[in-house]
Structure formats: structure tokens, C-alpha cells
Structure 1
């Protein structure tokens, strides 16, 4: 049994006593939407999207996550934030959307549609359109620190909405400035926000209010964690995101926990 599997089983064991607890009214929030940017340090068309993404990463009304893919590394510069898991997630979306290829910069909105990640108007229009048409987030979710843990609370399903989703934890690091020495962006220094470091499926939400707790020590200093309630097919293809929340860990919070 691998350490990774043992870790997941430990989290699940911690969560089981809390699953039946009702969510606390008034503590739950509902962002305008989730923006998942697929980008690469080795992609010459990505810097405008990375710059735009900074605005979304600092906008408390959305959950913004940046996945660095690794398939452009052959162009001469290995993306220092890339991972095969990020690439796998983008290919899973490719299957969900029925497209024949992947591209960067790509922004996936609420797990439902994709647009050019450098086009602010297209991202904003997708968010507005889905919220008006009932394809926005429909489940309230919150994350907050509770002692040395991070408490996740999810509300019940809305009438007529889906009643099952995976509870996905997305960990990300602090902003990082990277100077590219070779490749298509040679000579540029770009700051990358909310770079995803790990994605874990931690449980299943079945339409009822629930609580879930994870160790706050899993979150990088000055980084954070997002929780996504996302529909997933039997074949593992990601679908609409029903609810989401984000938590950012600050240096002073780390010091308080140590004290």
C-alpha cells in the first residue's frame, strides 16, 4: 500500500464522523464561478493570460486555479510549476468537451465551457451567462480554519439540481516569479498566481449538508486550497462544478499554529 493511498484513507477516516453534521447557516458562500487556467512557462502566447489571471486570483468573488501543463517542455524550457496531473486534468476536459486536442492558454469555466484564457471579455461573458441561465454554482461551500485543521462545509443540493459530486481538493502554492532563461519566453520574468501543486479526490457529496476536515499543515506557506464539488462520470470524465470555495494560508496563520 503506497503512502499516498494511506494518506487518503486517513483523511477519509477523519471525515466520516463529520459527514452527517449539518452545515452552519450563514457561514457558507457562493462564488460567481470557478476559473481553471491551463498554462505553461514554455508557451509564447501564455504571458497575457498569466497577467490577466493575476486579477482573477486576487478577486474574492471567483475561485481561480492555474494548472501548469508539461507538454510544451520540449520547446527548450521546463516549466518549473508543471506536473503530469495538470496535463491529465486538461486531457480529461478535452474528453468532456469532445474536442480533438488541448491548447494553452485555455480557461475552463465552472467545468462546463472553455475559452481563450487571455480573453477577459470571453471569461466574463461565460461567467455572467451561466449565472443567468442557471449553470452557475448551485451549492454553498465554505472553508475556514478550525484550530490546526481546515473545516469544509457544504450545503444541500438546490431543488432540481444534481445530487452527487466528487469532493475535490486542489492545493496551490504562493505567487512565484520565474525568469525564463531559454525557450519561447526567454528573457521574460513572469509572476504566476495560484499554481496548482496537487489535486485529490477526497470523498463524495450526495446532495446533503456535510462537514469535512483536513489538516491545515497540508497547505503550503502563503499558499492555499480550493474545494470543488464536481460531477464526474463513471469513466472519470469531469463535468459541471456545482459548488466551490477557496482558502489562502498566510504567514501569520502558520506562526499561530506553531505557537
Structure 2
């Protein structure tokens, strides 16, 4: 098989895998963002509930490991200051004085405890089709060495946010509150990057695909997200996700 045919086959495979994650193109119902930590003994039930959501069609599920529990003796191997900053940004948007784990944010609009998969899925279904749902179509696909993003028309303005994640990661926790336990984490965010602005008109953009393969990332989500006057994350009005290959 020639190089061009191999590249084409790989791109088609990536697109198919991505649709399996987020649902059929245009059918994404909602986004759930979990804020969790390997050093939090209340988080394992939420991580298991979150795994259930990653397998449900039509849901873009992203897990942000925060780093503020590291002082308990275990440094979260998937945590980052950027993930913590995003959670604090949501706290300001919701008018909260602090943050906690495990916390779930639905469509950038609603925050709730993250231990009940049925409650989280139910909230997504409740918001779908309302003003709190996703109302702008977002598509993403690999085209050769580029990531092509297409966003449909609508009203208002929003940031185009690209979130890179690892589909699956097994971790042995050696210290802290969860010492001696082995966990499997799903869709853990490795990086968050702004990619541009949307002003209500249909827009297409192309990004280098190399980042998908950097630092072990094998999945990407594109969020169309509004911001507060102070620049903190707010309502998500469109989203999609794709992956490069099946989970382990």
C-alpha cells in the first residue's frame, strides 16, 4: 500500500473512532467536565461514574486532574496547574468562593457533585434542546497532517477551545489517601489551548495535527465556549471530539 493510501486510511480510521466517542456528527448532546484528583479519597466513585459517561453516545466527557491535593503526599501524575486554573475559572463564573473534588460541570452552565452517572446523564438530557443545550454544530476531522475544524452559524460570540486528552491511563497510587490502589482513568486532559474566536458566522480553521501525538495525547475535543466579562469559562454552545485509535 502506498504512503498516500496509508495516510488516507489512517485519517478515515481516526474520524470513525472519534464519532464512536462523541456520537454521530451533529448529535452531541452535551459536555461533562469532571474535576478530580488521584490524591482525593472521595474521587474514585466519581471516576467510575465518569467512565460510564465516556461510553455513552452523544456525550463529550473530559476529566481534568487538579494539583491542589498534591500536598497530601501524592503528586497526581495527570494533574496540571492549567486544569486547576480552569476549575477556579468556573468557580468565579458560578459565584463560588472555592473549589472541590469531585466536581462535574455540565455544558459550562451547571455544577454538581460527580458521583452519580445517572444524575449527570439526566442533567445533560434535561439541558438538551433548551437554551442550556448545545445549539451550534461543531465538526472536526484529520485531513493529512492537519486538524480541520468547522463551526456552523449561530448567534453571539464564543472562544474556540481545543482540549487534548488521553483516552485511558492506568495508575498505581503509592502515597496519600489512595495509597496502594490502582486506578484506570479515562479521557484525562493533558492540555487546553485557545484556537480562535467565533462571532456567529460559520468558520473553518486548520491546526497542526502533530499535537495529538505529543505527550501521549490520543484524543481531542473542540469546545465552542462563551466567557464572562473577566474572561472566565462559561456556557458551552457547541462541541465535538475525536480520537486516534481505540482505547486499550
Quickly name the TM-score band, shorter chain normalised. Answer: 0.7 to 0.9
Aligned twin of 2:161: 168
Aligned twin of 1:44: 41
**CA distance in 2: counterparts of 1:114 and 1:222, whole angstroms:** 26
Decide which of 185, 188, 192 is 1:192's aligned counterpart: 185
Cα distance 1:176–1:154, how it changes in 2: closer, same or farther (>3 A)?
same
- TM-aligned CA deviation for residue 132 of structure 1: 4.4
**CA RMSD, aligned part only?**
1.5
Partners of 1:34 and 1:63 within 8 A in 2 = yes
Aligned twin of 1:256: none
Question: Residue 107 in 1 paired to residue 104 in 2?
Answer: yes
Secondary structure, in 3 states, of the residue corresponding to 1:163? Answer: coil
Aligned twin of 2:75: 78
Q: Which aligned segments of 4 or more residues in structure 1 are displaced greater than 3 angstroms?
A: none
- TM-aligned CA deviation for residue 59 of structure 1: 2.5
**CA distance in 1: counterparts of 2:138 and 2:57, whole angstroms:** 14
Post-superposition Cα deviations, 1:132-165, rounded to whole Å, max 9, x if no partner, equal 43310000111111111111111111xxxx4200
- TM-aligned CA deviation for residue 209 of structure 1: 1.0
Gaps (5+ residues) in structure 1?
A: 1-26, 252-259
**CA distance in 1: counterparts of 2:165 and 2:192, whole angstroms:** 9
Secondary structure, in 3 states, of the residue corresponding to 1:193? Answer: strand
Secondary structure, in 3 states, of the residue corresponding to 1:53? Answer: helix
Partners of 2:33 and 2:64 within 8 A in 1 = yes
Secondary structure, in 3 states, of the residue corresponding to 2:195? Answer: strand
The TM-score normalised by the length of structure 1 is: 0.82
**CA distance in 2: counterparts of 1:117 and 1:213, whole angstroms:** 34
Partners of 2:165 and 2:217 within 8 A in 1 = no
**CA distance in 2: counterparts of 1:59 and 1:216, whole angstroms:** 26
Aligned twin of 1:239: 234
Secondary structure, in 3 states, of the residue corresponding to 2:187? Answer: coil
- TM-aligned CA deviation for residue 28 of structure 1: 4.8
- Matched residues, number: 221
